[in-house]
Amino acid sequence: MCGIVGYIGTRVAQPLLLEGLKRLEYRGYDSAGMATVDAGRLSLTRAVGRVQNLEDRLGELGGFGGTVGLAHTRWATHGGVTEANAHPHRDGSGRIAVVHNGIIENYTVIRQYLEEKGHTFKSETDTEVLAVLIGELFDPEGGVDLESAVRAALREVTGAYAIAVICAAEPDTLVAARKGSPLMVGVGSGEYVVASDPAAIIAHTTQAFPVDDYHVVKLTRDGLRTSNLDNVEVTPKIMQLELDLEQIDLGQFQHYMLKEIYEQPRAIRLCCRGRIDAREGKVVLGGLAQYAKELVKSRRVILTAQGTALHSAMIGEYLLEDLAKIPAEVEYGSEFRYRNPIIEDGSVVIAISQSGETADTLAALMEAKERGALALGVINAVGSTIARETDAGVYLRVGPEIGVASTKAFTGQVAVLTMIALFMARRRFMAPDACARLMGELEQTPDKMERILEQDDAIRTLTEKYVERENWLFLGRGYNFPTALEGALKLKEISYIHAEGMPVVFIANKGPQYDKVMNNIEEVRSRGGHVIAVATEGDKDIGRVAEDVMWIPDTPDPLSPMLAVLPLQLMAYHAAVLRGHDVDKPRNLAKSVTVE
């Protein structure tokens, strides 16, 4: 969704805010804006398009002074992509500026109320309604300062928000608050950075705390005060951010997506480190230790997720049934929440999410939790909302994923689900040596991934051959049915190619469905289809039926999706670049969908 950055301290805010926005641009890139307070005056500007356009606009204006300010990069939800709809939004008096991530659900009622009081609106957004409401309640002479006005306004709204607010009449204050949308406060010395993501904080401090739901934080250069909506003071839990700048810099790569594809061998090593003991045939998942018994005795596992994470959930379903012999099913978070799902005793729900902020996945988890299920998470973003709402879980440890198209999170999710399945399998029916064998193979997966990445140039050349085709079909069976869906999703997301026609990409690894897939290939060929295959090294037959082959090393079938997806990721990446698209900022796609 959108990205928020706020700053209060002793340094000039503008460069810090711009740098923070660039780090958050992956969250939304329709439009951007900034406001600062300098010498009791509020300066505000906005621009449609990328953060660069905002920077150019600021250059034309001679730049903003001030050591308190806020900025926003928008992903439109209410109102089209126009300058008027971009954030920050001002109240009627022009003294207060607000940036907001989320959706104020009752904004039409509040807008009507404010219009009856004589207020007019310049945008179609829910955020402007909130800004005007705060302005209406702000009454310094009457003892209602900015913090109190924000609190009073938030008591009136329903929906989701992460907000930051500044005011020309209170030049030494920045107020932030949250319900449902992510927001963090970085604590520096004599300064604070507020952001929707630690990526915008880490350059300035490693000390930070997540703002909790219904909490309001008042920041001044002398300190901070956190309270709930009833104005009861609460103590924030400051933590150390486990993130370094190198992880979020592009380095030698042209795009985050390619960097993250290449990071997969290392990411999977980190993900599995200390968690598998192949010699002993043991899986050690510290995050689940407390609930091991409940998990092993569970009668049904529901995996819930969206998008790419849903594809890894589908692989998780196969793994749990195949290895742990436990009934498992996959549920779109967006559907589960609106059904009347039946949760029997002994049900476990596993929410899978890279960001840990996907609204639909979160809602599904809460629904299952309320109905008595044990709520587990397979999450990448540490301390994210879903991670905090689960009873227990396993972090991916693959590092921050910035490219909008999910890559290393997918293989990380599959690796974690494999470990969870083995953890349960070993305690249920699986023989220790069978378990140990698979673990040994899992340990080999990063080396095998490295071998696949060596084919990058060859995959680029192959993609060039087909890049002008408007329709592609991805086919795979068994464990690689979800991999085929993921390959198609990757291509669609960043190349805008309709991935359901021809050429046909088959995942034809040497698994139990190999013969069936070979038959399917013959059928496609007999209808004139161009076959590109992902095949197992050493397969002598595939060259006879496929025009082009991308190779993966041999591996047990349950582990094959983690390898088979890599050529598909590279292919999607090259197709997008060859078509001249901005891979890290695909149109109409946001990295994290924090609204329904």
Residue 260 in contact with ligand F6R, rule: CB under 6 A: no
Nearest approach in angstroms of CB 499 to ligand F6R is 13
Eight-state DSSP code of residue 287: G
| Cβ distance to ligand F6R smaller for residue 123 or 354 | 354
Taking the C-alpha atoms of residue 378 and residue 353, their distance in angstroms, rounded to an integer, is 6
Element (H, E) at 369: helix 359-370
CB under 8 Å to 43, separation ≥6 — which residues? 35, 36, 37, 61, 64, 65, 66
What is the smallest separation between the CB atom of 356 and ligand F6R, expressed in angstroms?
7
Residues 6 or more apart from 16 whose CB is under 8 A from it?
5, 7, 193, 204
CA distances from 509 to 216, 476, 481, 501 (A): 54, 9, 12, 21
**Judged by CB under 6 A, which of 392, 568, 593, 595 binds ligand F6R?**
593
Residue 41 or 369 with smaller CB distance to ligand F6R: 369
Rounded Cα–Cα distance for residues 95 and 44 (Å): 10
Write down the least CB distance from residue 466 to ligand F6R, Å. 21
Q: Binding of ligand F6R at residue 101 (CB under 6 A)?
A: no
In the range 375-404, which residues lie near ligand F6R by CB under 6 A? 404
Residue 358 binding ligand F6R, by CB under 6 A: yes
Given the rule CB under 6 A, which of 56-64, 256-264, 307-315, 319-327 is the region that contacts ligand F6R?
Answer: 307-315
Residue with smallest beta-carbon separation from ligand F6R: 307
Q: Output 411 or 592, the one with its CB closest to ligand F6R.
A: 592
Q: In Å, how far are 69, 167, 406 from 140, measured between CA atoms?
A: 20, 11, 47
> In this structure, what token pair is assigned to residue 568?
């598909």
Q: How far is the CB of 438 from ligand F6R (least distance, A)?
A: 25
Indicate the angle between helix axes 307-322 and 480-495, nearest 10 degrees: 170
Decide if residue 334 touches ligand F6R (CB under 6 A): no
Active site annotation includes 293: no
d(Cα 571, Cα 594) in Å, to the nearest integer? Answer: 29
Binding map of ligand F6R across residues 403-422, x = CB under 6 A, - = no contact: -xxx----------------
Which of 126, 493, 548, 584 lies at the binding interface for ligand F6R (CB under 6 A)? 493
Active site residue 435: no
85 vs 353 by CB, closer to ligand F6R: 353
Query: Exactly one of 77, 85, 361, 455 binds ligand F6R (CB under 6 A); which one?
Result: 361
Asked if 307 touches ligand F6R (CB under 6 A), the answer is yes
For residue 154, the surrounding DSSP H or E stretch is helix 146-156
Compute how many residues bind ligand F6R; rule: CB under 6 A: 15
Which among 200, 160, 185, 180 has a CA at the least distance from the CA of 71?
200
Write the binding mask 264 to 303 for ligand F6R: x where contact by CB under 6 A, - elsewhere.
----------------------------------------
Angle between helices 126-137 and 146-156 (to 10 degrees): 130
Q: Which is nearer to ligand F6R, 377 or 503 (CB)?
A: 377
Tell me if 508 sits within 8 A of 542, measured CB to CB.
yes
Choosing from 179, 259, 492, 591, the catalytic residue is: 591
Query: Binding to ligand F6R by residue 569, rule CB under 6 A?
Result: no
Taking alpha carbons only, the member of 272, 176, 274, 269 closest to residue 218 is 176
Tokens linked to 306: 């969206």
Please say which residue, 146 or 489, places its beta carbon nearer to ligand F6R: 489
User: Residues with catalytic annotation?
Assistant: 2, 591
Footprint of ligand F6R (CB under 6 A):
306-309, 353-355, 358, 361, 404-406, 493, 592-593
